[in-house]
Structure 1
C-alpha cells in the first residue's frame, strides 16, 4: 500500500484533516498548523489558532480550497477551563449520570460564528512558506540560498543528498522536493505496464532496471534538534524520504546506523568546521601523507591530540574498513555554508588536498523588489494608493492660484462684514434705520462675490468620487520598483566543488570498446 502523499509534494485541491496548513496573515507573517478539528481543546469550537487578526477554529479550515480567504470567528477566549464540572453541577444535565470531581466532560463541538472583522488566507505548505514560518531552533538557510545551492549541485529527481547540520530543517524540505520521484517500495504503474508489454512482444529481453528513488540523509550533532526534526518530518509525511541521524560527522563519518551507505550524489555541509568532515567524503581512504598535509597547512588549524586520535583511528582501523558514502557511478558535487571568510580559506585548502576540483566561492546578497504603479497628481486627492501632490509645475501654480483666490475672497468678505458693522453702528448713533434697502444691497453684493470662489477641499473630493466611477486605476500611473532598505538575510559564503568518479584501466577499456 502506497503511503499518503506529503502535503509538501502533493497538497491536493483542499486542506485535509491531520495535515499541515499555512495561515497567511501578512506577506511575511505565516502560521503553520496541523489541522485537527476533532482534537481535545478548551474551546467549545475545538482547536483554535488565535492571531492578532482574529481566531480561526480548525473546523473552519478543513475541506477549504487552498488560497481561500478565511473569515475570523467569534471565540470566547474567557471560557477556557469551564468544561471541568463538579458532581453537584451535573444534577440536571444529560441523563443524570454523576461525574467525578475534576473529570472533563466532553461536549459536541459548537459551530463557529463569523466575526465582524478579520481574515487570513489558507495556503498549502511549500519549502518557501515553511522557511518563513518554521520554529527557529538555529539560524536557517533561506530561500535565496538553498534555491541557488540546489541548482549548483544539479539536484534532480532520483538523486541522494547528504545534509550535515540539519538545524531547523529548512534545507531538508527543499532538498526533498528537488529529488522526489516516488516513495521507496512503490513502483510506477506506467513503468510496470510498459515493462510487461515489452516482455510480451519480445521487444526487450533484458531485465528491467530497478528505479532509484531520491532521498535525503540528514545528520545532526545536537540530539534534541535531531529528535525534533524527526517528529516534524513524520508529521509532514516525509519520513519515507528523509533519514535523520544523530551523529558527530567529524569523527564518525556519514555511514548510517544500519551500516548502509547514503550513495550520495550531492553534499551540503552547514557545519562550523566543514574541513574536518571532508576526510570522510572521499572515494578511497586518504593516505596519511594527505591527512598530514591537510593538518599542517597554514590555513588549517592543527588538531589537538583528542581531536586527531578518533578520526585517524576510524580511517585506519582494520576492524572498520573505509566505506565511501558517495555514489561511485557519477561525479559528486559539494557545497559548504560558512559565515566567515576564515572558514572558507580552511575549507578550500582541505578540498584541494583531498582531490576536489572546480572549487568556487559565491556570496549571495538578495534584495526584494517592490513593483507597483505610482499615481501622482492633484486628481488623486482622497483616492487610496495615490500620491496627492502636484505632478507638474502647471498643477502646482494652479493650486497656488486657487489658494490665493480663496484667501482674497475670504479677506474681502471679512473686510465687507467689518465695514457693514461699522456702518450700522454709525447709523444707530444717528438714529437711522439700516435694516432696509442698504442691508439687501449689501446681501446681494456678498452673494455676487461668493459665486467666483475656487472650489474648496470638500468640493474637490466630491468631484473626485464622481470621476472614480469611470477611471481604471489599475492602468493609470507609472510602473516603478524600489528595493528594500536593508537585507533580510544573513551573509554567507558558499563553496562549491566537484569530485570526479574514479577511473581505472577497466573503465578505460570499456570506453574504448564502446566508443
Structure 2
C-alpha cells in the first residue's frame, strides 16, 4: 500500500498569500484584542443572518464572505447586517418544523432538481453591504498570535518564555520533542513550527512533537484543535499520566532530542527520562525487575545528548527537581527566570501656549513659564479693574478665557515674545516636539515561573571508546595542535637532566673554591 501524501499544509506553517475557506484566521480588533475565526463559505442563512456566518464585534458586524480570498493583513470594513431578524428566528422554528414534516413526503420527487435547489440556496445568500464606519484587520495564524487569542483552559506559556525555552533545548527542524502537560496548546504550536521540516511519510523520520495530557476534557479539546489546524500529522497527542505511564508511544521509544515538562511535580516524571532503568524504579516494579534491564526502553535518543526544561512556579518545586536531576545523571543544571517588559516610546509635549493641540499636557513646563503666566493674569486683572465695568466687557473676557486666546501681555521668559503654535509648528515638526519618554506596559504578558535546564549526555559504551581510540590514537597525533612527539619529549627530558647535573657540579666547584679561600685567609 502506497503511503498517503498530505495535500493541505497547516496555516500555521504555510498560510499562503490569501485567506481560504474552512481555515483559521486571526481578526485583529485592536492592538491587544485578537479573535480567532474559522472562515466559512456562505451557504444560505446562518444563525439568522441572510449574509451567512457573521462575526459581531463592538466595531461592527463582519460577514465571513467579506473576509474570504483577501490578502493577509487586509483591512475589512464593517457591513450593514440585519440583527433584528435573529430575535424572530426561534419563533419561526416551530412553523418551519411543521413545514418540513409536511414536505417530507415529496422529497423523493424533488431529488432530480437538487442541483437547482443548491443554486437557489447559493443565490439566496444576501450580498454584504459596507457600513459607514468600523473596520478590522485579518491576519494569518502564527504561534504568537494564537498564544494571545486562544481560549484559555490552563495558564499558558507566553511568547517570551517559549522562545527562550526552544532556544535552550535546541529545538530545530528535524528534532523530536516530548511535551508533558499540553494544557491550552500554546507551547505545542510554537514547538511544531520549530521542529517542522515536512510531514512524515510511512517509515520516515521527520520533526515531530509527542505531547501528553492527563486531563480528559483538555485532551479532547486539544485533539480537535490540532485537527482543525492541520497539525495532527506533526503532533501525536496521548492521554496519559506520565508519572506512572512514562513517555513511550505504542510501546516504542520516541527517541526524543528535547523534553519540556510543564507539570506540578516534574521530579516524579524524571525517572522515566533516563538512559537506563533507575534503581528505585526497578525495586518498585517487581515484574520489570524480574526481567532485568532488557525490558527497559528509554524514550530518549541514544545517539545524542538530550536537553530538558522544566516549568515550575514555586522554588520548592525547583529544589526537588534539581535534586532528582542530580541523582539521575543530568548535568549543566541551570535555573532561569524571565522578566519581559515592553516599553512604549512617545514625546511629552508640555506648555501653556499649546492649548489646541492633541496629546499636550496643558501645564507650565517650568517655574519661569508659571511665573510669566501669573504675571500676565495679574496685569490683566489690574487692567480690567482700572476700566469701567459693564456686562459686555465681562462677557468678552469670559469668552476669551474659555476659548483660551492669548492675551496681549503673553510675553516669553525674560521679556521676549513667546512663540505661538503656528510659529512652533513651522520651525519643528509636531512629532519632534517635546521630550522623548518611555513608559512600561501596565500588564506584563509573561509567566512568573522558574525554568530549570539540564543536559543528559550520550551514554559512552565500550564500543564507542574503541571506535574513538581507533580514530584518534593516543600518542600518535601528528600535525595537530598540542600533539605529543615521544622522541621530542625524551630529548626535552635529557636536556633537563643535563641542566640539573650541570647546576649541581657548579655548586660543588663553588663550594670547593670557598673552602680553599677560607684556608688561605685563615
- Normalised by the size of structure 2, how large is the TM-score? 0.75
Distance 1:166 1:89, change over 3 A: closer
Residues 1:163 and 2:179 are matched in the alignment: yes
Which secondary structure state, in structure 1, belongs to the residue aligned with residue 19 of structure 2?
coil
Residue 71 of structure 1 corresponds to: 77
Residue 405 of structure 2 corresponds to: 459
Superposed, 1:13-32 pairs within 5 Å as 13-32=17-36
Rounded to whole Å, the distance in 1 between the matches of 2:352 and 2:422 is: 13
Identify unmatched segments of 5+ residues in structure 2: 108-119, 408-419, 473-522
Question: Which of 286, 296, 299 is equivalent to 1:325?
Answer: 299
Question: Which of 222, 229, 237 is equivalent to 1:244?
Answer: 237
Question: Which of 464, 469, 494 is equivalent to 1:512?
Answer: 469
Distance 1:313 1:374, change over 3 A: farther
Distance 1:406 1:239, change over 3 A: farther
Distance 1:85 1:140, change over 3 A: closer
Question: Residues 144 and 366 of structure 1 are in contact (CA less than 8 Å); yes or no, is this contact kept in structure 2?
Answer: yes
Distance 1:470 1:254, change over 3 A: same
Residue 478 of structure 1 corresponds to: 435
Moved more, 34-43 or 17-26: 34-43
Residues 1:62 and 2:68 are matched in the alignment: yes
Offset of residue 99 of structure 1: 5.4
Question: Residues 283 and 502 of structure 1 are in contact (CA less than 8 Å); yes or no, is this contact kept in structure 2?
Answer: yes
Question: Which of 474, 481, 503 is equivalent to 2:460?
Answer: 503
Rounded to whole Å, the distance in 1 between the matches of 2:459 and 2:441 is: 47
Distance 1:394 1:153, change over 3 A: same
Higher helix share: 2
Question: Residues 37 and 57 of structure 1 are in contact (CA less than 8 Å); yes or no, is this contact kept in structure 2?
Answer: no
Residue 51 of structure 1 corresponds to: 57
Distance 1:394 1:74, change over 3 A: same
Moved more, 376-385 or 149-158: 376-385
Rounded to whole Å, the distance in 2 between the matches of 1:225 and 1:87 is: 39
Rounded to whole Å, the distance in 2 between the matches of 1:272 and 1:20 is: 32
Question: Residues 344 and 495 of structure 1 are in contact (CA less than 8 Å); yes or no, is this contact kept in structure 2?
Answer: yes
Offset of residue 5 of structure 1: 1.9
Residue 264 of structure 1 corresponds to: 256
Larger radius of gyration: 2
Rounded to whole Å, the distance in 1 between the matches of 2:425 and 2:127 is: 41
Rounded to whole Å, the distance in 2 between the matches of 1:113 and 1:491 is: 47
Distance 1:466 1:86, change over 3 A: farther
Residues 1:341 and 2:315 are matched in the alignment: yes
Computed over aligned residues only, the root mean square deviation of the Cα atoms, in angstroms, reads 3.5
Offset of residue 339 of structure 1: 1.1
Identify unmatched segments of 5+ residues in structure 1: 92-97, 187-209, 293-308, 419-442
Question: Residues 265 and 331 of structure 1 are in contact (CA less than 8 Å); yes or no, is this contact kept in structure 2?
Answer: yes
Offset of residue 407 of structure 1: 3.3
Deviations for 1:432-469, whole angstroms, at most 9, x for unmatched residues?
xxxxxxxxxxx9xx9xxx99x999744359x7479768
Question: Across the two proteins, how many residue pairs are aligned to each other?
Answer: 433
Distance 1:508 1:85, change over 3 A: closer
Distance 1:106 1:457, change over 3 A: same
Residues 1:492 and 2:449 are matched in the alignment: yes
